[in-house]
Amino acid sequence: MPYANIPRNTNKAIDAIIGIDNLQLSTGSGGLGTHKWADWHWVDAESVMWTSFRVILEKFREAYANKKTISIADRAVVKQTIKAAREYSGFDVNSHRLFLKIAAFGDIHDWNVANIKYGTPLAKKSGTAKSDSPKALQPVVFIQKVLSNEMVLIVASPETPNRVALPEGMKFAKVYRFIGEKAPKSTADFDFYGNARKGKLDVNFDGVDLTGPNKLYAWFYARYESNKGELGQGGGWVSSQILS
């Protein structure tokens, strides 16, 4: 199903395209100054094109989400833009096969956001967890902004990765952090940082010595805690260089 990655429902399609754009513009594996789209082997023109779809659709996101009156002309613009995104990223001979590239070069975090299952381990993923159990729910973490001595994280549900609402029955997402020059070896290297209750968490690096000659990086992952106090599995790691 070439277009299964972009939902047929207009509201969900807008959210999906915006969510993928947030991810493709986020920090890549090479640290500050690199982007996810390059990790996926997209080229610069493909990244720019995807953002152009997002720019058009973002103007109408609130109207569709809140079921406001939308003119026939505006509906036509939205419909045509979503169609263009599907055709541009699809599997046809003249398309760019963007989702195939995410499937081939992305990780489970990327596959969840882009709704990619075929050809990945997610195709054999077990059924959805009960609403009051976080065991099978792994939060998706984005680094939204990298500022001086600060980062802004977005934590989203794997079931609805383009929205930040907590899954039913969850109290918050617990965020863990590791700081170092090289990647951590396991989750045992991380320390608990804070709880993201509304899908967003501001992280500061007060007390961290950033004056050394080598660059320091911060890695993050999250896990849900239910209203019953039950802890879920940790999601994928994300990282970026710390700016002094």
Structural contact between residues 35 and 6, judged by C-beta atoms closer than 8 angstroms: no
Is the per-residue pLDDT at 179 higher than 50?
Answer: yes
Q: How confident is the model at residue 144 (pLDDT cuts 50, 70, 90)?
A: confident
Q: pTM for this one? A: 0.56
Angstrom distance (rounded) from CA 48 to CA 27? 16
Identify which of 70-79, 124-133, 148-157, 189-198 has the greatest average pLDDT. Answer: 70-79
More confident residue, 101 or 236: 101
- The predicted pLDDT at position 91 comes to 72
- The predicted pLDDT at position 186 comes to 84
Block residue for tokens 């990282």: 239
Q: Which residues of 61-92 are buried (b: 16+ CB within 10 A; e: fewer)?
A: bebbeeeeeeeeeeeeebeebbeebbebbbee
